[in-house]
Amino acid sequence: NAGVTQTPKFRILKIGQSMTLQCAQDMNHNYMYWYRQDPGMGLKLIYYSVGAGITDKGEVPNGYNVSRSTTEDFPLRLELAAPSQTSVYFCASSPRVGNTEAFFGQGTRLTVV
């Protein structure tokens, strides 16, 4: 089973460039999340979605945008990349909302130079 798939695995961006981090899940989960994790730190929630067409901000949404046109896909868009966005990004999905079992992708390591 594929579970949660993130692409790309690694990316280097120049300051001011834009990119989209892709996330797809094949478990038919309504709930999806984007996190960032800085070195040695815990995960910070960027955006989440409770179903197709519905998204909301998490703890650290500034500099990011999301969309959810289908149940399977939840892309994260970075506009005008900044060095502060250098981080590892994780996408996750869950069958229920709240404190429940969530399934994470392998992450995208992004460096902004």
Partner 1 sequence: LAKTTQPISMDSYEGQEVNITCSHNNIATNDYITWYQQFPSQGPRFIIQGYKTKVTNEVASLFIPADRKSSTLSLPRVSLSDTAVYYCLVGGPNNAGNMLTFGGGTRLMVKP
> Where along the sequence are the contacts to partner 1 (CB under 8 A)?
4, 33, 35, 41-45, 48, 50, 58-59, 90, 92, 94, 96-107
For residue 78, the minimal CB distance to partner 1 (Å) is 19
First to last CA, the chain: 35
- The span from the CA of 19 to the CA of 65, in Å, is 11
Q: Which residue do the tokens 């892709």 mark?
A: 22
- The span from the CA of 19 to the CA of 28, in Å, is 26
Closer to partner 1 by Cβ: residue 58 or 75: 58
Closer to partner 1 by Cβ: residue 6 or 85: 6
For residue 109, the minimal CB distance to partner 1 (Å) is 8
87-94 and 108-112 beta bridge pairing:
antiparallel
For residue 36, the minimal CB distance to partner 1 (Å) is 11
Amino acid at 97: V
Closer to partner 1 by Cβ: residue 26 or 59: 59
